[in-house]
Amino acid sequence: QVTAKTAFLFILPQYNVSVPAADGELVQYHYGLKDLVTILFYIFIAIILHAVVQEYALDKINRRLHLSKVKHSKFNESGQLVAFHLTSVIWCLYVVVTEGYISNPRSLWENYPHVYLPYQVKFFYLCQLAYWLHALPELYFQKVRKEEIPRQLRCIALYLLHIAGAYLLNLTRLGLILLLLQYLAEFFFHMARLVYFADENNEKLFNVWAVVFVVTRLFTLTLYILVIGFGLPRVESQALDPERGNFFSFLFNNILFRMSVLLLVCLFQASVMWRFIHFQLRRWREYWHEQSSRKRAAATASTKQQTKPLKRDSGYHENGVVKAENGTSPRTKKLKSP
């Protein structure tokens, strides 16, 4: 029994409480320091799953494609993220649908702070934190190039900051929707990269990703304005109460603070869109440059083929008369009669 209790500490979410509900009592969860033990266990699970995907899927595909070292590293990164993002999108969509966060958008801010979480919501957040923490030692295991490490560290840090922030500040419902939108766009991007590495002439999926990215950015910005601008200021409990998990809803009563936060959000989304537009313009410029180079090469080859002299066995034509190589007209030889 002692061993079982210790095992449950690693495997199952902790801090369960019984909350009164309309049809009886409902078991929900809140966070605490014991969550670190559970996260540590699932970090090892994530490392094992990472190795399985790498060995039984990505390495076999790499051996067939014969990619360069640079493309090999990017292919492995995108392959791992495609598997993770696809799983997370399906899981997150299931959670938000079953919990009614999509059908009832008011639930994103009603009854804030959302201190008590359903089992599947808490477990989802613990697994998300475990995955992005496992990505740190994977930088060493995968032998990532030094030039790529700062970019990947920045990406990992941003995900950890947003996921842990939503979890600790009791904004888990809003965080779920934002993660769903972000992971959906990231899935199409990394899927497009995999298809491109397999066939460099196939860039159609990048166009799909571009549309999905713009749509998800618009939804993200709308969601921020809806929750921060209109939802949280209407919360009944506006007093600072860290014991109940109410950390900053009282600040949104101040219109100046509210507008400042919305301005920062808009500026951040604008910077993301600017980088996206810059990337698209560069990609289109490279595409048209490549197409023009191919056309010039084809035109040059066609010109050379037309100007190439025809090989003749003897003589050449001049004014419709066949001339010999010395310029004299060939004459038929008269045969002597026998």
Taking only the tens place, the pLDDT of each residue in 57-114 is 998 888 888 888 888 888 999 999 999 999 999 999 999 999 999 888 888 888 887 8
pLDDT at 3: 75
Cα 122 from Cα 51, distance rounded (Å): 26
Which tens digits make up the pLDDT trace of 118-128? 999 999 999 99
- The four Cα atoms 197, 198, 203, 206 give a dihedral, to 10 degrees, of -60
Cα 300 from Cα 280, distance rounded (Å): 30
pLDDT at 12: 87
pLDDT at 335: 47
Distances (CA, A) of 178 to 64, 78, 169: 37, 21, 15
CB 99 within 8 A of CB 180: no
Give me 103's structure tokens.
């059908």
Cα 187 from Cα 89, distance rounded (Å): 9
Distance from CA of residue 233 to its chain's centroid? 32
pLDDT at 219: 93
pLDDT at 2: 63
pLDDT means over runs of 10, the chain (338 residues)? 76 86 81 93 95 91 84 90 96 94 87 87 96 93 86 94 91 93 95 88 86 93 86 68 62 73 86 87 80 79 67 50 50 48
Q: Is the pTM of this model over 0.75?
A: yes
Cα 45 from Cα 39, distance rounded (Å): 10
Cα 85 from Cα 119, distance rounded (Å): 21
Give me 102's structure tokens.
């999509």
pLDDT at 154: 93
Cα 125 from Cα 39, distance rounded (Å): 10
Q: If residue 85 lies in a helix (H) or strand (E), which one and from where to where? A: helix 69-98
Give me 298's structure tokens.
């084809």
Q: Which residues contact 197 (CB under 8 A, 6 or more apart)?
A: 65, 67, 71, 74, 75, 78
pLDDT at 240: 61
pLDDT at 272: 87
pLDDT at 215: 94
CA angle 226, 234, 174 (to 5 degrees): 40
Cα 57 from Cα 79, distance rounded (Å): 9
